[in-house]
Structure 1
Amino acid sequence: MPYLYLDDLRLYYEEEGDGQPLVLIHGASQDTLSWHDNIRHFATRYRVLAIDLPGHGKSALVERRPTTTTAEFTGVVWRFIEAKQLREPIIIGHSLGAGVAIMTSIEHPEAIKGVVAVCGGAAFRGSAGVSYQGDLLRNTQINATDWLETIFHSVLGRTTSLERRREMAFDATRCSPYVSYADLLTYAGLNLYEAMHKVRRPVHWIVGEDDWSTTPAMARATSAQFAAQGVDSEVHELKGLGHIPHWEQPDAFNAMLDTVLAKFDAVER
């Protein structure tokens, strides 16, 4: 169970394999556990590093408070990449983590090979453009744990088994309710639309057909704008899956990500 200390911040991560670095960034209220059925598959060909973001899993909080901005998470991810001396990693971010991944590539385009955005990272205009706003956010603050367990069931795809749904919902409730609520503020607060023109590295999406949180249509609209800017970008849709495809049905997700990573492997700088 390795830890990395970034000054006084204790960051937990898991690492397996050798080769091209893949940095996995989980979504809201989650941690490295959400990737437990993916890491070993990709570690046969890549150097896979999965991070617990601050306040999640075994990582400490930043200054003893939950993080509420994508920029703060982005700064931590970049410091991790520097500390581990990762050369041109591909960042794979889920949901909240997708926004973090894209913003990291914007801040450090010379150092990042590309991004895979999993059910996240669409060109929202801040809280006005996402599904988490207004009364929903206020209701979440009242009882984040119960809300989270309920919402997990609603964002999953119709072909995901009830047993898997219950497992995922239970695991997500391990997250502190203060951190869970802060994650929603972070997710809703990112206005990627204003930063889209700065994207230089490839961005590929993997999305679930049944995801209402970051819909396939949102991903396609964002990808089309990136392509119009000359950025290599495509959307890859998983039928019958929802917002957390890598955890819902790992075999289907792993096969799709294999296809996407092959595209990065074929691209030379």
Structure 2
Amino acid sequence: MVMVRTPDGVNLYAEEHGSGTPVLFIHEFAGDHRSWAPQVGALATRYRCITYSARGYPPSDVPEDPADYSQRHAVADAIAVLDALEVDRAHVVGLSMGGFCTLHLGLEHPERVRSMVVAACGWGSAPDRRSEFRAECEHLADSLRAEGMAKVAERYALGPTRVQLAGKDPLGWRRFAGQLAEHSAVGSANTQLSVQRERPPLYELADRLAGVDLPALVIAGDEDEGCLEPGLMLKRTLPRSGLLVLPKTGHTVNLEEPDAFNRAILEFLAAVEAGRWGRRDPRARGLSSTGLER
């Protein structure tokens, strides 16, 4: 393990396992560095796997001021981890909140990114649900402050896109829920208010994302309603992207279907490193199935 000091003085807890080409994992709101255990176990024999807990997630520091959290801070923190571990470029794997961070790394620091895996990403991006999404973030933050982390975690871990994990893997779900209950209520509330609520929705970034010339694999569960349409938008927008939709799967896709998730990542990374993950053929665009003009 290593403690990484960010430019603004926040300490981030990081771990690395294995050797080879670096892979940086960026966790979701309800996760932390431990959430990637199934992926580290599968990839560490071939890759240098780096995980860390975001600011606000112990054992990383938990700043009290919401102004110390933002999408900009999240991107800067990921770069700080890479710098501290002397990594010039890494494959980046992000889930949900971590998927947003991954995309912003591709936008702002493409020279540091070999490829992107963007999983379960897009919650709150639907244009017609923006106000409702912001209200949900505020309600969750208020609940965390009023009730504490353990109490809120009981309900959050059984939300509409989390029950799938409970049904498939009760032991794994208990581990997930237990780790969630250990999080900081202050850090989680600040993350909701300043990272989640204030981040730009994906659809507003579409023009910029169309210029990100990095290999990308987009992964979504078919029961993760808030991320299905954004996942399809990312596939249509990122010029070097592929889309994998896993059936009967919710938001915690890396824990629900670890074998399929790991296999997809390994195949994607192998294709990228062999130069076989190119841009979409422009002839593949359009709604016609025949290619015959009328």
Question: TM tier, shorter chain?
Answer: 0.7 to 0.9
The CA distance in 2 between the partners of 1:129 and 1:53, in whole Å, is 25
Residues 58 and 184 in structure 2, CA contact (< 8 A), matched pair in contact too:
no
Shift of 1:84: 1.9
Greater Cα offset, 232-241 or 161-170: 161-170
- Would you say how many aligned residue pairs link Structure 1 and Structure 2? 262
1:264 corresponds to 2:266: no
Residues 23 and 89 in structure 1, CA contact (< 8 A), matched pair in contact too:
yes
1:41-77 CA deviation, whole Å, 9 max, x = no partner? 1011111100111121311135x43554111110111
Aligned partner of 2:237 in structure 1 is: 225
SS in 2 for 1:56: coil
Query: For structure 2, which runs of at least 5 residues remain unmatched after alignment?
Result: 279-294
Residues 123 and 218 in structure 1, CA contact (< 8 A), matched pair in contact too:
no
Residues 118 and 218 in structure 2, CA contact (< 8 A), matched pair in contact too:
yes
Aligned partner of 1:181 in structure 2 is: 189
Aligned partner of 1:147 in structure 2 is: 152
Aligned partner of 1:25 in structure 2 is: 26
Shift of 1:82: 2.2
Q: 1:57 to 1:238 in 2, by over 3 A?
A: farther
Aligned partner of 2:290 in structure 1 is: none
The CA distance in 2 between the partners of 1:235 and 1:190, in whole Å, is 23
Residues 142 and 189 in structure 2, CA contact (< 8 A), matched pair in contact too:
no
SS in 2 for 1:27: coil
Query: For structure 1, which runs of at least 5 residues remain unmatched after alignment?
Result: none
SS in 1 for 2:23: strand
Shift of 1:203: 2.5
Residue correspondence of structure 1 range 1-269 to structure 2 within 5 A: 1-6=1-6, 8-62=9-63, 64-66=64-66, 67-121=68-122, 124=125, 128-129=129-130, 132-134=133-135, 136-144=136-144, 145=149, 146-154=151-159, 155-156=161-162, 157=164, 160-185=168-193, 186-191=195-200, 192-199=202-209, 200=212, 201-214=214-227, 216-226=228-238, 231-267=239-275
> Greater CA radius of gyration, 1 or 2?
2
TM-score, scaled to structure 1: 0.86
Q: 1:224 to 1:123 in 2, by over 3 A?
A: farther
The CA distance in 1 between the partners of 2:128 and 2:61, in whole Å, is 27
SS in 1 for 2:244: strand
The CA distance in 1 between the partners of 2:172 and 2:234, in whole Å, is 30
Q: % of aligned pairs identical?
A: 22
The CA distance in 1 between the partners of 2:15 and 2:203, in whole Å, is 32
Q: 1:132 to 1:235 in 2, by over 3 A?
A: same
Shift of 1:122: 7.0
Shift of 1:128: 4.4
For the aligned residue pairs, the C-alpha RMSD in angstroms reads 2.5
The CA distance in 1 between the partners of 2:129 and 2:83, in whole Å, is 34
